[in-house]
Amino acid sequence: MGMFFSNLHIKKNNTITLDSLLQYLIEDMVKKGYTRLESPENSEVTIAIYAPENSSWVSVSSDCYNFNSDEDTRNTAQPISEKFGTYVIAASCMDSDYAFMHLLNSSDKTDGWINSGSVYEGMELPRNTTISGWEKIISDFDRFREITNEEYIFAEDMIYNIAELMNMDKEQCLFEADYTEDVDKNCLTKLYFSLLPISEEEPANLYINLYDLTPCKADINSVVFVNNKGGRSKGIAIMFTGDYIENDDVIIYNATFESNYGSENCKIVPVTFEKRKRSDGSCVLWWQDSDFEIPPAVNQNLPYTKREKLEFEKQFGVRFFVKGNPQKFRDVEVYIIPLENIKSAYAQGYARWNVQKRPLA
């Protein structure tokens, strides 16, 4: 997998200080409806500011930045240039296939654009290369021309190679808010923000984000993962149904409950099912964890890339294997159920998977 990032580089001058930049960034986020938090706990957006002393630039990265065009970059970078009367570079890389740097300065109307690589199929080229204006910040313009004309296996290498021509530390070029292990922590500041949360009174409402239409296969793992589009809740149950259960025509084995699926804090818990009989005489397989905290819905007003990332990280559900009668594999039906919903008048909010039935709305 290649690199993805969108970041800013702001040229230092007598006007800009770290404190004044922090104040600007905080005020800008508050205007957009965010609340600043003192710690990363419960935060939805991070802004990282990297200001090495020996560099002519301050770099800013956020997981809410998403630069796909010159309109995106201008909307974010131009106000900073106007505020501090300086050069601002908005840079972006898309899966190491395409990278660009947009240089702006509102004081002298500088508007330069350099890029490398190829855009995705079906995506319009954001802009043609315009290197005029770059000579104002580049120490060796002939070398700069050579670098921008080279072909690269990894598109971001162009950005990396011109760093010293701008008196910028190389680690600033590929700077990402979520990955700051390689930078000097003494020069790093992070700000944390959140949008107003979803109502805690709303019941959990689980749904399968990616509905798998592949039937279960013997000794090959199947997964059913869900997201929540409702409020925070406590307690989860996994239930398998089908007429294969009573006589063990299909055996569910090596099942695990996985949470925080897409994050480094992923938890995997072995699951042992209990066979139960319902009032209608049918058998089900049942497992529950009364203490599991179901995370609330990801705020849909977050920027798309951040929202998608959080939804991926907050997935949870069951992974399992099957064996037995292959004719019965298509009958395997899985329910993921918020326990608090069962106890209340709101009996819905569960997610159901079966390869032969349409997903619940």
User: For residues 183 and 288, which has the higher predicted lDDT (pLDDT)?
Assistant: 288
Cα separation, 59 vs 50, in Å, equals 5
Label residue 95 left, alpha or beta by phi (over 0 means left) and psi (-120 to 50 means alpha). left
Backbone angles phi, psi at 311, to 5 degrees: -65, -40
Q: Which CATH class is domain 206-353?
A: mainly beta
The pLDDT score that the predictor gives to residue 61 is: 95
Query: Hey, is 175 helix, strand or coil?
Result: coil
Residues carrying CATH 2.60.40, the chain: 206-353
Report the chain's terminal Cα–Cα distance, integer Å: 33
Of 63-67, 159-163, 335-339, 343-347, the least confident: 343-347
Mean pLDDT score of the chain: 90
Could you say which DSSP state residue 248 is in? T
pLDDT at res. 360: 52
CA-nearest of 239, 261, 247, 272 to 354 is 239
Cβ contacts of residue 181 below 8 Å, gap of 6+? none
Instruction: For 253-279, write each residue's pLDDT tens digit.
Output: 999 999 988 777 789 999 999 999 988
Predicted confidence band of residue 138 (pLDDT cuts 50, 70, 90): very high
Residue 208 has pLDDT above 60, yes or no: yes
259: left (phi over 0), alpha (psi -120 to 50) or beta: beta
Mean pLDDT confidence for 236-256: 95
Tens digits of residue pLDDT in 106-132: 989 999 999 998 877 766 767 777 888
For residue 69, name the pLDDT band (cuts at 50, 70, 90): confident
* φ, ψ at 213 (rounded to 5°): -100, 20
Please identify which residue in the block is written with the tokens 């009668």. Answer: 325
